[in-house]
């Protein structure tokens, strides 16, 4: 049953998002040339430094060190939510042929960039030796497979379209419950602004506006039309996109950008600190909210905060998956393989994901570990009725160029607040993506 459930949901997404990408041509995998047997160390590159996400990484690191006592774990994480700084540093390291032993990359279009640039190695032997093909949903494997070779090891599934809210502030504003459509959302934001002294919608660093954009596009256009935007030749100049962008512009009027320096954590924290009514953020925020102090906030679901699907996106899982790679020329290749083994293991995933606020990529995880919000995530992910959309900001639908060009258009919009120019920017970004 479960297999069928995955199949039916993934089909919807796979049909629209990755088939084009997988059919493209590029280079296959020749040998890396790193030191094959060096297991003395492993340098793991990610952007998990902040409260919440760093705890998940630490839990997996501790298990790795227990199992690999002779291997020094070097945590090369670079701060900046969603990899904003890390990806730039990684690009220059890869270009200068100074790769880490393993780096974090999102399943989907983002991974394809590294594959086509010949920067990572295929992991077919690794999958075979560790019997991994059967433990992941086939359709997730499709997102990390290129020309018949598998290129990364997924550790989780995250959900991007979550609305976190403060029930007390909603009550003070006379808002009966979480808004279920974009127009309702705008009405609720206005009510919070008019009736309370709180921030209606908290935002953090610039990328959190990109994250908001994908949510507003999904909520306004609907799942099929959102997914179609990432198809080759898709038209971003339509009245429907203009409407969604006008709604985005309206919503942006109710946000604060002061929290830029505190990234996504500052914006999410504002909700549980009774300072903001709403925040739209991926479910890594959940790990941060309920995680134990001092890193986590030690907050309680339903008392300190509540969650719902982002307005207009009920029934759709806007997904993304963190995965780890084997770069060509990894200096400690055997160390890297030991790390990938940890990442792929049931134990590793069950240690990592409850802290990270994600559900495991493997099909055989211990369900009882996923409580509160994560129980809902688990159920919705496994519900055959749930539709799928790929997160563009977190690597599924857009390659790195498209991603950067959208961010540039958003950066300009934050200066000029001109919706028509934003749409022009997005039309060009789609045309020039080369995807």
Q: Does 284 bind ligand GAL (CB under 6 A)?
A: yes
Question: Partners of 154 in the beta sheet?
Answer: 323
Q: Does 322 bind ligand GAL (CB under 6 A)?
A: yes
Q: Are 133 and 367 in contact (CB under 8 A)?
A: no
Q: Which helix (H) or strand (E) holds 279?
A: strand 276-280
Calpha distance 290→302 (Å, rounded): 11
Q: Site mask, ligand GAL, residues 169-208, x = CB under 6 A?
A: ----------------------------------------
Shortest Å distance, C-beta 391 to ligand GAL: 8
Pick between residue 185 and residue 393 the one whose CB is nearest to ligand GAL: 393
Calpha distance 296→279 (Å, rounded): 17
Q: Does 83 bind ligand GAL (CB under 6 A)?
A: yes
Shortest Å distance, C-beta 193 to ligand GAL: 27
Q: Does 152 bind ligand GAL (CB under 6 A)?
A: no
Selected from 29, 32, 34, 81, the binder of ligand GAL by CB under 6 A is 81
Q: Which stretch binds ligand GAL (CB under 6 A): 79-87, 108-116, 237-245, 426-434?
A: 79-87
Shortest Å distance, C-beta 266 to ligand GAL: 13
H runs (alpha helix) in 106-174: 109-116, 124-129, 138-143, 167-172
Q: Does 394 bind ligand GAL (CB under 6 A)?
A: yes
Shortest Å distance, C-beta 258 to ligand GAL: 20
Distances 13 to 9, 19, 278, 395 between C-alpha atoms, Å: 7, 10, 28, 14
Shortest Å distance, C-beta 322 to ligand GAL: 5
Q: Does 158 bind ligand GAL (CB under 6 A)?
A: yes
Pick between residue 254 and residue 392 the one whose CB is nearest to ligand GAL: 392
CB-based burial, 196-231: b 16+ in 10 Å, e otherwise: bebbbbbbbbebbbbbbbbbbbbbbbbbebbbebbe
Site for ligand GAL in 223-282 (CB under 6 A): 264, 282
Kindly provide the residue ranges of all beta strands, DSSP E only, lying in 97-232, ordered along the sequence.
Answer: 102-106, 145-146, 149-150, 153-154, 156-159, 162-165, 199-202
Q: Does 43 bind ligand GAL (CB under 6 A)?
A: no
Q: Site mask, ligand GAL, residues 47-66, x = CB under 6 A?
A: xx----x-------------
Distances 220 to 67, 99, 182, 225, 236 between C-alpha atoms, Å: 48, 41, 6, 9, 14
Q: Which stretch binds ligand GAL (CB under 6 A): 45-53, 221-229, 306-314, 359-367?
A: 45-53
Identify which of 311, 312, 197 has the alpha carbon closest to the alpha carbon of residue 256.
197
Q: Are 248 and 213 in contact (CB under 8 A)?
A: yes
Q: Are 265 and 204 in contact (CB under 8 A)?
A: yes
Site residues (CB under 6 A) for ligand GAL? 47-48, 53, 81-83, 106, 158, 264, 282, 284, 320, 322, 394
């Amino acid at each position: 049953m479960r297999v069928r459930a995955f199949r039916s949901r993934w089909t919807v997404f796979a049909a629209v998002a990755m088939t084009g990408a997988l059919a493209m041509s590029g280079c296959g995998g020749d040998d890396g040339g790193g030191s094959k047997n060096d297991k003395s160390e492993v340098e793991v590159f990610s952007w998990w430094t902040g409260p919440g996400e760093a705890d998940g990484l630490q839990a997996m690191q501790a298990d790795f060190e227990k199992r690999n006592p002779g291997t020094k774990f070097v945590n090369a994480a670079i701060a900046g939510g969603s990899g904003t700084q890390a990806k730039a540093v990684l690009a220059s390291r890869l270009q200068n042929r100074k790769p880490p032993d393993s780096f974090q990359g999102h399943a989907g279009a983002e991974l394809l960039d590294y594959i086509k640039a010949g920067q990572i190695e295929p992991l077919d032997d690794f999958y075979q030796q560790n019997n991994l093909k059967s433990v992941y949903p086939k359709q997730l494997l499709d997102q990390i497979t290129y020309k018949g070779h598998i290129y990364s090891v997924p550790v989780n599934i995250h959900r991007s379209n979550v609305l976190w809210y403060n029930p007390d502030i909603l009550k003070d504003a006379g808002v009966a419950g979480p808004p279920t459509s974009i127009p309702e959302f705008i009405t609720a934001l206005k009510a919070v602004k008019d009736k309370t002294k709180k921030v209606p919608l908290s935002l953090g660093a610039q990328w959190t506006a990109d994250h908001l954009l994908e949510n507003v596009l999904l909520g306004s256009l609907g799942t099929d039309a959102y997914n179609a935007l990432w198809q080759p030749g898709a038209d971003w100049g339509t009245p429907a996109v203009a409407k969604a962008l006008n709604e985005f512009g309206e919503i942006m009027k109710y946000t604060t950008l002061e929290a830029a320096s505190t990234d996504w954590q500052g914006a999410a924290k504002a909700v549980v600190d009774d300072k903001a009514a709403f925040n739209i953020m991926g479910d890594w925020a959940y790990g941060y909210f309920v995680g134990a102090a001092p890193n986590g906030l030690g907050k309680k679901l339903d008392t300190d905060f509540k969650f719902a699907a982002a307005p207009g996106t009920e029934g759709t899982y806007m997904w993304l998956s963190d995965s780890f790679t084997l770069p060509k020329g990894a200096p400690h290749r055997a160390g890297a393989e030991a790390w990938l083994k940890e990442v792929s293991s049931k134990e590793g995933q069950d240690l990592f994901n409850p802290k990270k606020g994600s559900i495991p990529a493997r099909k055989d995880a211990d369900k009882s570990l996923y409580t509160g919000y994560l129980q809902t995530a688990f159920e919705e992910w496994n519900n055959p009725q749930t539709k799928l959309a790929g997160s563009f900001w977190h690597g599924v639908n857009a390659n790195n160029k498209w991603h950067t060009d959208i961010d540039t258009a958003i950066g300009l919009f934050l200066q000029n607040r001109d919706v028509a120019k934003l749409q022009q920017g997005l039309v060009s970004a789609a045309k020039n993506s080369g995807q």
